[in-house]
Structure 1
Amino acid sequence: MSWHVPEEDLRAYARGELAAPALWSADAHLAACAWCREALGEVSDPVALDAGWERLDAELDAPRTGVLESLLVRLGVPGHIARLLAAAPVLRRSWLGAVVAVLLLSVVAGHVVRGGESPTLFLALAPLLPLAGVALSYGPALDPTYEMAVVAPMHGFRLLMIRTVAVLGVVLGLNGLATLALPAYGLGALAWLLPALALTATGLALTPRLGPVLAPSLVGGAWVGLLLLADALRAGAQTPLAPFTVAGQGVSAVVAALAAGLLFLLRDRFDLFQGRAV
């Protein structure tokens, strides 16, 4: 090449002070001229050049921000918390699609089968979805981001509550939309809410003792057993199952309150539980 970038322009380029259009010309020329690139390395500050390469490597290696993470950050959620939430397996499309499918099937069953006074299938399944979602959002056996969560500079109980709130917000929102599709049942279609909170709180309270897999499994099994017992006791009568009556709702509220209190008392054990799991 007959023309090269002047040394003064190279120094300004290295300092980041070269203005357009000389900057554009220098960029285009440096891409094709090995001599000028070598000259640029001689006039550049080695420390600043190395720092620039390190920043470039960090930018290239940084994981791409997903749609959910970007949305959470726009809503004011701190970046590190948004990343932990976006990486949770329960917020992936496959899991959410499965939840929507279950709710649609139960709503359709509620419209087709009108033999009772309440949409029994929907009320039975809806409380299990938040319990399953929380179980899948925490623990080394189910959460692929568990190691990242463990080394995060955050109290284990706080991390659990953050993810629990996120899961409950999503699942209860979907359950609420499904409830709107059952207007003929009135407020009776909301009878799943208190049992859902009771099951989730109980599963969380038992997690430090039984682990993130066994605890929700036992709670879910107990719920299914309770429904079967309640169905047997009503002996075919066209009445709501016991958990969805006024008395059953009161019991669910009491269980939810007691489990929440026990969970608060055991909050420090989640750090110990994390240490054992790792």
Structure 2
Amino acid sequence: MTAAEWHLPDGELRRYGEGTLVPPELWSTEAHLAACAYCRERLAAAAEPQMTAAGWVRLDAELDAPVPGPVERLLVRAGVAEHTARLLAATPVLRLSWLVAVASTLALAALLANLADPVVFLAVAPLLPVGGVALSFGHRVDPTYEITVVAPIHTFRLLLLRCVAVLSTTTVLSAAATLALPDLGLTALGWFLPALALTLLTLAFMARLGPVLAAVLVGLGWVVLVTSTLGAGSGGSSPFVPVGQLALALAGALGALVLARMHRAFETPRRFR
């Protein structure tokens, strides 16, 4: 007997409408309903209006629910709240294109460091999180800016979360790239404190200058500092010797202090326009 020659029993149809039907009967019933218009009409007539309306509401919710990407799923598994994970996953610098660009830049810098001067890698690596911060917030560069401004989360907290995401990814990639510089020893890690200090200084200036201009000025200042001190110290430039690292740590601490005192300024969206 084919599907067109038989129909679902009333009891089975009623249990399906009540949601009490279990596999394997559930599977065969759904398969039959998909092919039998008559049984679908019987089901609609037998079901209570409230149950039918609730079913449509659940269906609409499932269809409209956003599909989380791999980054969002990873963040949720790590314990990040779903709404926070969604805002973090929307960070432009967590996209594959940005990560590939960062990895390629570090690979090229490591190659030039081996062929020419180690200072190339030590100078380039700290600039990557600065660029990432500039691309993580602001209406000109962030395609999700309008959404994040009206999201139920403080702008300053969102900015810090995104900066942590930027620093984490660039730090992991930079640390992996240092494996290509075995001859430098611990000097190969001289990029970490500058990266942290430059990021904090960029955030401190961002409230007044905006993300792009703040990142450009801090980046230019870093390039001028490195090039003007070439030849000093074992790292090839004074920022990478112990005294220079200490000075950068103090600059980072100063940036963090200024940032903490100015955090309320980030709650005004016009600061980023």
- What amino acid sits opposite 1:253 in the alignment? A
Partner of 2:211, secondary structure, is coil
Q: Contact between 2:233 and 2:240, CA under 8 Å: does it hold in 1?
A: no
Partner of 1:63, secondary structure, is coil
Cα distance, 1:238 vs structure 2: 8.4
Distance 1:238 1:11, change over 3 A: closer
Which stretch of the first structure deviates more once superposed, 177-186 or 164-173?
A: 177-186
Q: Contact between 2:88 and 2:162, CA under 8 Å: does it hold in 1?
A: yes
- Report the TM-score when normalising by structure 1: 0.89
2:105 paired residue among 88, 99, 102: 102
Partner of 2:245, secondary structure, is helix
Deviation digits for residues 120-156 of structure 1 (CA, Å, limit 9, x no counterpart)? 1111111101111111111111111222222221111
Deviation digits for residues 53-97 of structure 1 (CA, Å, limit 9, x no counterpart)? 221222123222222222222222222222222221101111111
Which stretch of the first structure deviates more once superposed, 161-170 or 58-67?
A: 58-67
Partner of 2:229, secondary structure, is helix
Unpaired segments ≥5 residues, structure 2 = none
Which stretch of the first structure deviates more once superposed, 237-246 or 56-65?
A: 237-246
**Which position in structure 2 is the counterpart of 1:12?**
15
**Which position in structure 2 is the counterpart of 1:203?**
202
| Matched ranges for 1:192-271 at <5 A | 192-231=191-230, 240-271=236-267
% of aligned pairs identical? Answer: 52
**Which position in structure 1 is the counterpart of 2:152?**
153
- What amino acid sits opposite 1:67 in the alignment? P
- What amino acid sits opposite 1:162 in the alignment? L
Distance 1:110 1:11, change over 3 A: same
Unpaired segments ≥5 residues, structure 1 = none
Partner of 1:5, secondary structure, is coil
Distance 1:22 1:97, change over 3 A: closer
* Length, aligned pairs only: 270
Partner of 1:215, secondary structure, is helix
* CA distance, structure 2, for counterparts of residue 247 and residue 165 of structure 1: 27
Distance 1:253 1:43, change over 3 A: same
- What amino acid sits opposite 1:197 in the alignment? L
**Which position in structure 1 is the counterpart of 2:57?**
54
1:40 paired residue among 39, 43, 47: 43
